[in-house]
Every structure is written in structure tokens, then in C-alpha cells.
Amino acid sequence: MAEGYLKGRLGIFELFAGRRKQVLGLAESPLSMGSFSWSRNALPMPRVQVSLPVFTPLGFTRQFVAVKAYVSHGWFGQQPHVRGSFLHQKGITLRFGKPNARFQLTTAFDHQVQWSGYAPFLEADPTASFGGQLATSWEAFYNVIVPTKTDALKNLTKFTTYDQNRVGDHRGTAEMALTLNLPTRTLTFYQQHFYDIGRKLYNLRNIEDGLYGLRLLSRQAHARIQDAVIEVFNTQSQGFIHFGQVVGGEPENYYLNGQYPDGWSYHGRTIGNPFISQTTATNPSLGGQPFYGYRADGTRIDGVYGINNNRLLAFNTGVMGYFPGRVGRYGRQYWQYRLQVSYSQNYGMFSRPFPSDVNQFSALVSISKPTGWLGGSDLCASVGYDKGQLLRSPTQTGFYLGLRKQWQSTVRRSRKPIKV
């Protein structure tokens, strides 16, 4: 089951448990390629989350500042090389500007961690595990939540040498968006800076990398152009190359970690931005970064890292909207359309670069038409096209035809100010 959860509200707070699709961060459009940390690309993993799900004004600011926030615990389950690891995630978003202001500034920060679990390939490596078991104590959990380097990490009865900087595999984003609210539309510029090694947050050596986007969103229902997006995604620097100069040091090596070779993925799909591609999804001739380890009995385990392409430059644009159709029993009916095009230049990894000219073009066209079937439903059709050197097939075309039926209920959402 792709999605199934229980949800409850208490005042301004929300609690849910289960598999739930979510948009985290400021790249909110369904046309977006997705956030570095968390996108719609992978199957939702089971989580328990407490949140302020909608912008809630801080009372002492007279609605000038509003906040959203969340904290979650999740379960990765059985990954190919690590079993039973956990997810810790938290994030906060602040909006500056009253709800009806012409200009609004939004900032956001999130922190994602994969931690604990059992790694058979590390059973014989005492510097990275305790007989295959990765750090899982309450002290380890505290360091996951507050990833600071402390003397407690030097206790080798609870932490390995690998844990000396921080426990688990950490990453996240720092984001900013500027919104212009017009009478019938909103125009938003957003920028997302990301980190896979915490020190890059303050030394800014990977400042060239990021997701940059411009979104035009209509305030009117059934507009000819309801939503339009242009995005650029760059991950070529990784703190190793700074504005064309090789500065050396350890690259960020996005989505990869020695204790978690499956990478930032779930059930074989990238959890974050899908342009950082899975080894199994790319052309076999491009290969992947091999690794090996040993079980306690000396049996060698060979594998390939789950990510083989984290250095790239990608462009994405899309538009969706409506065209009026006939007047039916329930009023005017509308055709909905969606057009999306992307192009990427892919370079592999610093440790295993691709050959030159690994480029990829993709396009999608979708339409849906209201029908009277099943008491009101939508007939949907899509055509997708891929051409390039990155994916397993140089050229591929896919078709989709479906019938969509939706049931909706109205839920009142509390937006009361927080009194401070």
C-alpha cells in the first residue's frame, strides 16, 4: 500500500502515524523536481510525526511572523545492506510578512538522519560497528538529535571510531523564498542550499550547489495557467571545487555514507531529488562504486553503492492549468493539462566520474477530463518520453490511461496565534 495513515488534531498541533506523502521544504509545486532532503519520488516510509502543519502566527509579532514545524521518527526496514535502521527528521519554517502583505520572506531549515541498524558487511570491522550493530543507545539518539562533537563520543564501549564526529548519516537544507503577492497570482523565487557534511553550512565551500526556482501560481480556480515553474539544480561543487578552483578536502559526496551504502534511498528509489540517480536505474555501462566488507566468520560481502550519480547540472520547467469544457449537470467542466520538460548533464561522482556527454532529456504530457462515471470521476491520460545516455534504455516512451475517483471531506484547520 503506497499510502495509509491515521491522523489527529489537537488545537494547532497534528499527529499522524503511517505512510503519508508529504512535501517538505519550499519547493512545493507538484511541477518541482523536488527538495534535496525529501521529495515525492520514493514510497513514503512508515513514520510518526508531530507538527504545526500550517503557518501559525506568533501572537507577540502581530501576525508579522508565522511558523510551521515538525519532528518525526521513521523506520527504514530491510534495506539491501543495512537492516532495521531508523529515520530522524525535524524542520522549521518561518514566514515574515502578514498574511495579506505584498511581499513575504520565508526561511526554512531541516535536518534528516539515518541511524542505527544492523550491517552484516561491517561485522568484522570494530571501527564502524559492534559486530555489525550500529550505535543505537539513548546516548546515540541524543547525538542524532543534537549532532555535536562531544567527549561522550570518545567512549568506545558505546560509540565506534566512525561515530567520533556524529552518530548516523546526516543531511539537510537551508532555504529561502521571496514571494510577491499580486491580485490574481503569486510569484515566488526560492533557493535551497544543502549539506551532507555539517561544516559546509558555515564555511560555505559548496555555496555554488543548490536548487534555484521561480514559481508563478494563480489565485483563481481553473486558470489557463494555474501553476508554472522553472528550476535549476546544481551539485557539481560539493565543496571540493570552489568557483572553478580545486580547493581539495573531503567532498560532500551527496547521499552516500560508508555505514549506509544503499544511500539516501528507500525501496530502491531516491528519497530526495530524483536527479541524483540510483545505480540500478542508470545505464549498466556507467557502473557504480564498489565496496566490500566481512562477516564475523570471515565471509566476504561485495556490493555496489546505491547512488552512482551525485554530480550534475539539471534544468526543469513545467506548466499546468485548465481549459473550459461543456456545461454539465454540476456546472462547468474543465480539462486539466500538465506539460513538463527536464534536461540534465551528469558527471557521476568525484570518486567514480562518468565518461563525457552523459546527458538526459525527459518530457511528460498529461491531460484529464471529467466524466459522469461512478457518480463523477476523471479520465486521465499521460505520455512520457526519455532520451539520453543516463538511463538503462537510450530511448523509451511510456503511456498511462486511468480513471480517478476522489472523495473529499472538509476539515477545519486552526490558525490561532501562539501567545508568547
**pLDDT tens readout for residues 35-93:** 999 998 889 999 999 999 999 999 899 999 999 999 999 999 999 999 999 999 999 99
How far apart CA 302 and CA 165 sit, in angstroms, is 27
Residue 106 sits at φ, ψ, to 5 deg, of: -120, 135
> Average model confidence (pLDDT) for the chain?
91
Scanning the structure block, which residue is given the C-alpha cell 531516491? 270
pTM score of the predicted model = 0.90
- Grid look-up 521529495 returns 39
Cα 355 from Cα 344, distance rounded (Å):
15
pLDDT value of residue 420: 46
- pLDDT for position 10: 94
- In angstroms, the CA 86 to CA 20 distance is 17
The letter for the amino acid at 306 is G
**pLDDT tens-digit series, residues 190-223:** 999 998 876 666 677 788 999 999 999 999 998 9
Extents of the domains making up the chain: 4-116+168-310
CB 381 within 8 A of CB 367: yes
Beta bridge pairs of residue 70: 51, 91
Please give the share of the chain, as a percent, with pLDDT higher than 90: 74
Contacts of 375 (CB under 8 A, 6+ apart): none
Cα 341 from Cα 9, distance rounded (Å): 39
C-alpha closest to that of 222 among 108, 332, 98, 141 = 332
pLDDT tens, position by position, 235-262: 999 988 888 888 877 888 999 999 999 9
Q: How many residues does the chain have?
A: 420
Confidence of residue 409 (pLDDT cuts 50, 70, 90): low
